[in-house]
A and B are shown apart, each in its own frame.
Chain A
Amino acid sequence: MTHATPVVEVNGLTKRFGNVVALDDVTLSVQPGAITGLLGRNGAGKTTLMQTITGQDFATSGDVRVFGEHPVENARVLSRVSFIKESQKYPDEFRPKHVFRCAPWFYENWDAEFADRLIDDFQLPVNRRIKKLSRGQLSAVGVIVGLAARTPLTFFDEPYLGLDAVARQIFYDRLLADYAEHPRTVILSTHLIDEVANLLEHVVVIDKGRIIMDESAETARDSATTIVGPRSAVEAFIADRTVLHREGIGGLASVTVDRLDADERRDAAAAGLELAPVSLQQLIVRRTNSTTTEFGADS
């Protein structure tokens, strides 16, 4: 699978808005048939990257290929792509039923029956004017389109603003079940990392316009360990390792370092130290030098 032709190839992509560098020399390739998480803080460049990949924005420099072609105004590419974003605009008089009626004109794999089931799941009032929908109902419209379109390449950009925890779980469950039956390439951008961590096969983390992590979710999960124990013992053990995070209380220290191998884990245990796993969310918080409240907070 690692040798398959990438669905998305981004090479040396830079995007400037005036003096602001939104994307800084980004190089990335997305393998087909996987769910990739595009994770990062607000303003890190997630949306700009996806907009450039889908041809809605122009690169300042660098190259973008989707299905091997340039995406900008390229119907061969864009007919196979859907991009669900939180700020989707619809014509003023539209009701959800109009959106779902138009969808098959754009998406050849559109599954109307699946869309109907999702409408029930999300209890979406299809006859109400879009303008009158709640924030969560509006998000549900986008989520339903993104799932039922079954495009070979689907982007979900923070698709669930206003959706409560129950509705988000419905989204994750339906995405997983439908993806299992109809494999396709999904790029899911979110700051709710804990919620989606187990759904992801691959993880890309962007921070200040740069890619700082691009690896399998399994590798990422395994890439750091927290060592807990008496301060002196912990300090002696970590010696000159790179420290990702350090905290402590009284004589107790808790230090997060890069992955330990089996021998090192045994040494740590022998020294009376406890090893604790680091969740994907904690890892990203550490690597982006941000605070926990920036991730996982309901927006």
Chain B
Amino acid sequence: MQQSAKIERQPGFLPRADFQRLLDGVVKSGYQLLGPVVKDGAIQLMEVSDARQLVKGLTNEQQPGHYRLQQTAGERLFDWNHGPQGLKPLCFAPHEVLWVEQKDPLSFTTRLPDLKPTAVLGVRGCDLAALAIQDRHFLHAAGADPHYRQRREQLLLIGIDCAHSAESCFCASTGDGPSVNQGVDIGLSELDDGFLVWSGSDQGEAVLQQIDLAAAQTQQLEQMARQSEQAAQEQQRKLPSAEELMRLYQRLEHAHWQQIAERCLGCGNCTAVCPTCFCYDTHHEVSLDGLSAQNVRQWDSCFSASHSSMGGFKVRGDILSRYRQWLTHKLAGWQEQQGRIGCTGCGRCITWCPVGIDLTKESDAILWEGSLDE
């Protein structure tokens, strides 16, 4: 996948000192620009217009249950990997009104979000792949979701190849990174002296036409390829193959599930930071005068007690069955639903798990340890 992406790329070169020109081109094209800044000690997306607002010379240390930003001696803008959220909150809003109802006479009206076209700077390969998965979930023919679609269609995605991997990254084993390889409007690869820049869509091309790009040199293209190879080689974690992961369903009684349940707090952090998790709950919020109400959609988690609730009975009453639901769905059930696993190797569930549960190690243990082989 990386190979074909490189063939498709026909990048130009933008010197580091001229990076502001890209931002200006985006803003002049009518987009509000979300870019990486440091907030609450983590990389997060905030509205920016000036390249000086962007993080610079920062890298991230990501390990099980551990996230720290560190200053490097360098000038690079994208030497980190990601913060706690990918693109998910931008399309599948954490909390949004789907419709409002009036009591007398009873009537229902769709409430769609009112949004400006939004460009996102610094999107990673894992998150682009995750967005494609969410697109299939929310936009499939039978249930195309107008709220998701409205948000999705506003996005201009500016992707960036990862030049390094964090310790919790394993996108090479899922085939989704470390370079960006699908769904970008504009692609970037950061080199020491500047950026290779290419368009991946008509919208991206329209922005780049406003910017004078120099021709890319062969050695720059080689450095781009070398960086991606190096980032992939840095990865220590990997998932079993998709075929092997299907066997999780044959090992539902493995003793290791209980071992995980004894560590798991059932907090749902993994599902909140996962860029593909899609479960949601809806509830009614009634106005103070009791004459109207709104139907609100909010992210849910298969770790919540109410997720499997039917009347008083819970299908999944304990943490063991909730973790098992999450992992078997993510890595096996998803294959039947979407033709691929529901994990793109971003490693956020490992980093942001308060007790450092690592799905790559847990699935290894369930598949390869013990005596339940058929």
Q: A and B from one assembly? A: no
